[in-house]
Amino acid sequence: MPHSGIVFTRFEYPQELDSVVKMLHSYAPLVFAGEARKLEERLGEAAMGNVFLLQGGDCAESFKELNAHNIQDTFRVLLQMAVVLMFGGQVPVVKVFYIYLQFLILLGQCSPLYNCRCLV
């Protein structure tokens, strides 16, 4: 069965969870539809060999590691790599940057689906 991207877990305070989910739904999206369409187009160009795909990022395992300086440093390295590839390879570069925190591990909500190790 394919994973739908939705994680089902039991929370101790479901009313607070509902409140937070409603608040998050009220915010603007992190990625807009036009950006997603443009990325899809550029990834298609990369699949055809017309551009170079550079993707990278970081997975923080604690809130302490997830700070502005670490994110900025990782992003800076990715951009520097893109400049080298662009000028050295004389080909456009599609940059995909990701950063996330392993919330499931922090919450102790591990499952075999994620093949993770509980730290709590």
DSSP per-residue codes, 34-54: HHHHHHHHHHHHHHTTSSEEE
Q: Tell me the pLDDT tens digit for each residue of 50-91.
A: 999 998 877 766 667 777 888 888 889 989 999 999 999 898
12, HSE (Cβ side, Cα atoms, 13 Å): 3
Please state, in angstroms and rounded to a whole number, the distance separating the CA atoms of residues 55 and 40.
14
In 10-113, which residue ranges form alpha helices assigned H by DSSP?
14-26, 33-47, 68-89, 103-107
40 has which bridge partners?
none
Band of residue 118 on the pLDDT scale cut at 50, 70, 90: very low
Q: Tell me the pLDDT tens digit for each residue of 28-53.
A: 888 889 999 999 999 999 999 999 99
**Domain boundaries along the sequence of the chain:** 14-107
Distances (CA, A) of 51 to 38, 41, 79: 14, 11, 16
* pLDDT for 113: 47
